Structures are given as structure tokens and as C-alpha cells.
Chains A and B, each alone.
Chain A
Amino acid sequence: MTNAATDNALGTAEQKATIEKVSIIVSKGSLEGIYPALIMANGARNEGIDANLFFTFFGMDAIHKDRHDHIKVATVGNPGLHMATWAGGLPGVSGLATRMMEKKIEALDFPGIPEFIEMIHDTGAGVYACLASVDLFGFTKEDLIDEVDEIITVGDFYEMAAGGQIIFT
């Protein structure tokens, strides 16, 4: 009894709080909007945590067959790049910044977005598209990559996410 009480107070490994499930919403279509969400989904699976990815609005580019290999870094309105806003808007600047980022990603042997999503899907994570966004952009299931399990409503999403953590990026 005494031991159990002490263990509780100290928070032993067995009683440590855990996360069992994460549902990650990707709403932005920039490299910096998509990539961190993929790292989090993949990282969750690697820790044995259930994970679902839900793509909505411009985040849909990450699962669009013609666009998922052309995701760019946002060079306008991105103070983290330490570049004048007007310079970020010049033709070719976004492409240049993207190529620099892609080179770094490659040098670290990190996967590009298409390969990363395929890998995450192979880990058993769910990949879903938002029905409202599919309608809004006039997409069909055929426009989306094969890894997309289903096009779902926001209600389906909440049902799926129930009992877990929700992350919005």
C-alpha cells in the first residue's frame, strides 16, 4: 500500500500519462505548413500512437496528384525567412527558396512530400480528404493520390478523432 502510494506520487513509468491517438489537420499548402504535420504524424506512429491525417483547404495540395510534388516555401508574409516582403514576391524567389530547402531535406536523407505521405500511410496512419474542400476546389477522388483512404465530412472527422488529441496546422 505504502509503496503504491509513493509510486503514484512520484509518477512511475507505468503511470506516466500517454497519448493514444492524434488527428492532425493540414490546412495550408506551403512546405512549412505541410512538412511539420507529416513529421508529427510519422513520429506518432513510430511511438506506437494511432495517427490520422486530415487534409483540408490549401493543405489538399499535399494529396493532389499534380501538385504534391510541387509544394513551395512561402516567401511572402514569412518573417522567418528574414527577407524583405517585396523581395519575396519577385518572380522565381519562392522557387529558389524551395529548391534550397529541398536540397537540405535531401542532404539529411529526409523524404520529399510524396514519399513521406506514402511512408506514413504504410505505417498504418489514415489519410483523409475534406469533403467541403473537395467540393470547393472541384476535385474528384481521381485527382487525389492513391494513399487517400476516403473523402470525409467534418462530422466523420470528429467521430474518428474522438478520445484523442487534435492538432491543427
Chain B
Amino acid sequence: MTTTTLAGKTVEVNDEGFLVDPNEWTEEMATELAELHGVATPLTDRHWVVINFMRKEYFENGTGATVRKLGKASGVDTKELFQLFPKGPAKLSAMIAGIPKPKGCI
């Protein structure tokens, strides 16, 4: 565990860079997290559809959605998910949304 400064706030992150406490996340951190992890900024409305869906999933079910669930339920299909987050939509959107990496093989 290390600490880092995002949007002027000091937060704890794990080895991969995921926020340890999702409650510490603010919307202002999203752009900085995206830049840090290679997602094109500025974040568009479509990015935000996914980010907001991930946070909702996490707070309702205790884990973020997998790519399959995102594709089926977020309103953004698989192809577009990979255009928005080319290096892994579930992992990167969770990272930007300040929640832990989603678990699941599919």
C-alpha cells in the first residue's frame, strides 16, 4: 500500500494503483486516474456511463461489473467498451471509478 495525491487529496492505493477506499474517491479524481492509466482524456459522457455504472454495481453488489456484465447491462456494448478503455474496460473503468478490480473470469 502506498499513498498518492489525486485532485489535491492524499489517498491510499494498492500495488496496482486501485484506490483502497472507494469512499475517498471524488469525480475530480477520475481524469487524473485516467491519465495515469493510459485512458484518453477528456473523459466523454460515454466513459461516464461506464464509470457511474461501475460505482453503482460496486455499492449494490460489493464488486464492479465484468466486461460481459458491462456489455449486457451498462448500455455500452462490448465493441464500444474497448474503444473507450482499450487496455481492459472492466479493470480500467474500476480503476477510474475508484473501486477495487472486479473479480470474475468471464
Chain A residues with CB under 8 Å of chain B are 13, 39, 42-43, 45-48, 109-111, 116, 119, 122-124
User: Whole-angstrom distance between the alpha carbons of A13 and B16 in the complex?
Assistant: 7
Known: A42-B67, A123-B67. 20 other contacts (CB 8 A): A39-B106, A42-B106, A43-B106, A45-B67, A45-B88, A46-B89, A46-B91, A47-B88, A47-B91, A48-B86, A48-B87, A110-B106, A111-B68, A116-B106, A122-B71, A122-B77, A122-B78, A123-B78, A123-B82, A124-B82
Quick one: which of B19-50 are within 8 Å of A by CB? none
Instruction: Tell me if B9 counts as interface (CB < 8 A to partner A).
Output: no
B65-97 vs A, Cβ < 8 Å mask (1 yes, 0 no): 011100100000111001000111111100000
Cβ contacts under 8 Å, B105 to chain A: 39, 43
Chain A binding surface SS class:
helix
Closest to B71 in A: A119
Out of B15, B17, B68, B91, name the residue touching A48 (CB < 8 Å).
B91
In this complex, which of A45, A46, A47, A122 has the most chain B Cβ atoms within 10 angstroms of its Cβ? A46
A49 nearest CB across to chain B (Å) = 8
What are some 19 contacts across the A-B interface (CB < 8 A)?
Answer: A13-B16, A39-B106, A42-B106, A43-B105, A45-B82, A46-B66, A46-B88, A46-B90, A47-B88, A47-B91, A48-B86, A48-B92, A109-B68, A111-B68, A119-B78, A122-B77, A122-B78, A122-B82, A123-B78
Cβ contacts under 8 Å, A43 to chain B: 105-106
Query: Interface residue count for B (Cβ, 8 Å)?
Result: 20
Cβ contacts under 8 Å, B67 to chain A: 42, 45-46, 123
Q: Are B88 and A48 in contact (CB under 8 A)?
A: yes
Closest to B17 in A: A13
Closest to B69 in A: A109
A20 nearest CB across to chain B (Å) = 11
Out of B79, B90, B106, name the residue touching A122 (CB < 8 Å).
B79
